[in-house]
Structure 1
């Protein structure tokens, strides 16, 4: 049974008609960057709940959640309309193993995401550990439309702070967009386009990859990487591919 506690809404930022970010305050337990929590609201006497990754780093005194409004969803449409001062339930204790302490050593860290799965990477990148461990970090974010490329100000801050380490590569699949690649992440890896574009080769000897987002992206990217000699990272058998399915 979840250990629910109340959280107060500080801000509800709408990026477009579907994407939004809730900023909350609540007395939660310490967590690790990359972990997730659960939000819930009571509906007809039942707690309707969903898991959401933290966008904020563990050092922040505010909680931030990045979400998509699903038109026929039970919870997200209600979260979408919350206003400052409203309350939502949150689990006091975080969960998940999509954290840097589960990732083996390497020279280059590739962070591959779709949609709102960008969130846990922002949490990870706003801590010092990643920058101390890896010589280069490549952040890849794939969306349908350019308007879905949220958190650009925060990403630009990271680029300014770590100009020699961070490479950011967006993908936009349904329209042309400046600086963005078209198509899907797995195809861009399979044909070498992603490596050519960012200027860093993908080798099992030097690279660690974290995959988070759409299950189809995760599955297909993992298959492409395995065909090139990468293996899934397991505690009992360390590899190069660390995976989080986002729904």
Structure 2
């Protein structure tokens, strides 16, 4: 494609600008995007789409891509939960109305085990500040704080960039003066993958009801791998928050690796649930009296989830 053709496609297909791009490591970034239109009304925990044309360059070191005829003029899109850095540069809780951008927490997918070539993230990691991008005009999703009462204990359990909506939801709870405990746990492979770690440490010093738990599974020196499920079954989660798990006054939010979440299959005829293996958090919690949301029958429980990939 010629430079003129690419310029024309960008002008026609893109509707937002990259205003900030912070590489936390070679495969992890915080991206802020300013739409050309007023930022849509939304709730923390929801998501929207980002898109780039197949004509954009891909960052090096990724699975080889071969485009089909005509594909080079199309746009590849993916849904991303909106994140939040929670604190402003002065260390105070952000004022949402002061921001005209949306924040995203993105990991670079270099290759897929199933052979599908990752199309979007290798292009996102080729962006620079000032570049143009496509953003969805609608922000949507049911993964929100709607069921939470002011005094409830709220527990966020995430893996990797599944922390993104939990950060935004944490901001909302702290901003509105939530009186119950707020616990945010994130499991990653290495410490360098905890992109908001310093922010969470600052939050713990400012808000007595806030606790952050960071779990790493491959960090040198780690003698015992602790996954999110282990945090619960070992009793460590209860110990850290200082109270027993109680379905009557707690809401648990799960986001990230589907294997961590463990959404059960519901038989349409009998309503019987069958849980996947390995054991996921939903099975662990339901054995303790919690109930997960079941969208098919519009059941709102006290375990809410958002699966990534």
**C-alpha displacement of 1:202:** 1.0
Q: Is the 8 A contact 1:55 1:120 kept in 2?
A: yes
1:114 corresponds in structure 2 to 159
Query: How far apart in 2 are the matches of 1:158 and 1:142?
Result: 18
Alignment of 1:140-219 (within 5 A): 140-162=185-207, 164-175=208-219, 182-219=225-262
Query: How far apart in 1 are the matches of 2:146 and 2:177?
Result: 13
1:87 corresponds in structure 2 to 132
5+ residue gaps in structure 1? none
Query: How far apart in 2 are the matches of 1:172 and 1:62?
Result: 31
User: What is the aligned-residue RMSD (CA, Å)?
Assistant: 2.4
Q: Is the 8 A contact 2:14 2:132 kept in 1?
A: no
Query: How far apart in 2 are the matches of 1:158 and 1:198?
Result: 15
Q: Secondary structure at the match of 1:188?
A: helix
**C-alpha displacement of 1:225:** 0.5
Q: Is the 8 A contact 1:110 1:210 kept in 2?
A: yes
In terms of fraction of residues, the more strand-rich structure is: 1
1:47 corresponds in structure 2 to 75
CA 1:161–1:62 in structure 2 vs 1: closer, same or farther (change >3 Å)? Answer: farther
Residue-by-residue CA offset, 1:44-80 (whole Å, 9 max, x unaligned): 1111011111113754322111001011310101101
**C-alpha displacement of 1:88:** 0.7
Q: Is the 8 A contact 1:109 1:134 kept in 2?
A: no
**C-alpha displacement of 1:204:** 1.1
Query: How far apart in 2 are the matches of 1:85 and 1:156?
Result: 31
TM-score (norm 2): 0.72
**C-alpha displacement of 1:197:** 3.4
Match of 1:66 among 96, 105, 115: 105
CA 1:119–1:175 in structure 2 vs 1: closer, same or farther (change >3 Å)? Answer: same
Query: How far apart in 1 are the matches of 2:305 and 2:151?
Result: 16
Query: How far apart in 2 are the matches of 1:216 and 1:149?
Result: 20
1:242 corresponds in structure 2 to 304
Q: Is the 8 A contact 2:229 2:284 kept in 1?
A: yes
5+ residue gaps in structure 2? 1-12, 55-71, 87-95, 112-117, 263-279
1:31 corresponds in structure 2 to 42
CA 1:177–1:138 in structure 2 vs 1: closer, same or farther (change >3 Å)? Answer: farther
Q: Is the 8 A contact 2:150 2:180 kept in 1?
A: no
2:19 corresponds in structure 1 to 10
CA 1:191–1:153 in structure 2 vs 1: closer, same or farther (change >3 Å)? Answer: closer
**C-alpha displacement of 1:32:** 0.9
Q: Is the 8 A contact 1:115 1:141 kept in 2?
A: yes
**C-alpha displacement of 1:157:** 3.4
Structure having the higher Rg: 2
CA 1:108–1:159 in structure 2 vs 1: closer, same or farther (change >3 Å)? Answer: same
1:223 corresponds in structure 2 to 283
Residue-by-residue CA offset, 1:80-128 (whole Å, 9 max, x unaligned): 1200110110001101111111446762110111000111111112225
Q: Is the 8 A contact 1:6 1:89 kept in 2?
A: yes
Does 2:117 match 1:78?
A: no
Q: Secondary structure at the match of 2:31?
A: strand
